[in-house]
Amino acid sequence: MPDRTLEIDRVSKRYGEIVALDDVSFDVRAGELFGFVGSNGAGKTTTMRIALGVLAADSGEVRFDGDPITHQTRTHIGYMPEERGLYPKMKVLDQLVYLAELHGLTANEAHQSAENWISRLGLKDRRTDEVQKLSLGNQQRVQLAAALVHDPSVLVLDEPFSGLDPLAVDVMSEVLREKAATGVPVIFSSHQLDLVERLCDRVGIIRSGRLVACGTIQGLTSRATSHLVVTAPAAPPGWASNLPGVRIVSDQAGTVVLEIDAAADDQIVLATALSTGPVTEFSRRRRSLSDLFRDAVAERNPA
C-alpha cells in the first residue's frame, strides 16, 4: 500500500549571493495537516514551488510515495498559489471544468466535480459569473475549488486563508480536514498562527531559508521554556530578578511573567513571592505557536 508521503529532502536554492533555502528537510504524511510558517521572504513559497517542480532546486530532492516528483506526479497535486492564478474573464464553472480536464478528467467527470465543489464552497449563485466580477473572498473560494477539482493526491496551499472572512475560514478549514481524513497529505502556509495551531497536526517554522523547528505543537511547546504568571500585589519591582533559572519577561502592576528553565524550582519562586505578602495568582502559561514564532525570529533579529 502506498504511504502517500510528500518528502522535502535536504533542498537548497540560491539566487546569486542570496540563500533562499539552506538544506531544508521535512515530510508531510498521509492524512496530515502540516502548517508551514515563517516571516515574509523566509522561503515558504520557494519551498512549495520546488515541491511542484515550478522551480528547480540547486540540490536535494522532493519525493512523493517514495519516488522523485515527475510531470505525471504533478498532475495529482492540488496547488493554490499565493498570487492567484485564475483566468479573470472566464466564468467560474467553465474555468473549473477546463482545469479539471487539463488534469485528465473526462468532460463528464470534470462537470460533476466542478458542480460539486461549486456547491460545497458556497458558489452556486456565482457559477456563471466571470471571476473578475467576484469579491476577493469568492475568488479565493474558486481558487481552492481549482486546487480540488481533479481529486488530488496531495494538497499544497500557499496562504489559502488570506483575505477570507470568518465564515469562509470555517468552510475552508472543514474542507481541508475532510481531505486529510481521506489520507491526503495537506501542507499550507499562513501568517494566521492561531489558525495553524488549531488546525495542524504538525508545523514547520522556517527562518531565512533554514528550518528551525518542526514537530507537533504540543511537542514543540513542551520542550520550550515555559512562562510562570505570578501576582503578588505587595511585592517590590524586580523581586524575582535574582532567582536561579528565572528571567523576568514583564513586571506590571504587581503581576510578573517569568520565563523559567525546565530545571528551575517553581516552589522557590512561590516561596519568594509569598515572603513579600499575599499571592493571588500563580500559574503556568503554555507557550503558543505565536510565542515560538516570535522566539525564532528574535534569535535571528535580536532587539
Does pLDDT of 302 surpass 50?
A: no
**Any residues with CB less than 8 A from the CB of 136 and at least 6 apart, and which?**
163
Does pLDDT of 299 surpass 60?
A: no
Domain 6-216 matching CATH 3.40.50.300: the answer reads yes
Cell of 29: 504524511
Q: What would the pLDDT profile of 142-184 be if each residue is shown by its tens digit?
A: 999 999 999 999 999 999 998 788 888 999 999 999 999 999 9
Q: What would the pLDDT profile of 119-148 be if each residue is shown by its tens digit?
A: 999 999 999 999 999 998 899 899 999 999
Q: What would the pLDDT profile of 187-199 be if each residue is shown by its tens digit?
A: 999 999 989 999 9
Q: What would the pLDDT profile of 44-94 be if each residue is shown by its tens digit?
A: 999 999 998 889 999 999 999 989 988 888 889 999 988 777 899 999 999
- Taking residue 60's Cβ as centre, other Cβ atoms within 10 Å add up to 16
Does pLDDT of 223 surpass 70?
A: no
Identify which has the larger pLDDT, 179 or 293: 179
Q: Give the 3-state secondary structure of residue 224.
A: coil
The domain spans of the chain are 6-216, 225-286
Fold (topology level) of 225-286: Alpha-Beta Plaits (3.30.70)
Q: What is the reported pLDDT for 262?
A: 72
Q: How many helices (H) and strands (E) does the chain have?
A: 10, 14
What dihedral angle (degrees, nearest 10) is formed by the CA atoms of 58, 64, 65, 68?
-40
Show the 3-state SS of 251-277. EECCEEEEEECCCCCHHHHHHHHHCCC
Q: What is the reported pLDDT for 82?
A: 82
Q: What is the reported pLDDT for 136?
A: 86
Cell of 61: 530532492
Does pLDDT of 303 surpass 50?
A: no
Across the chain, what does the average pLDDT equal? Answer: 90
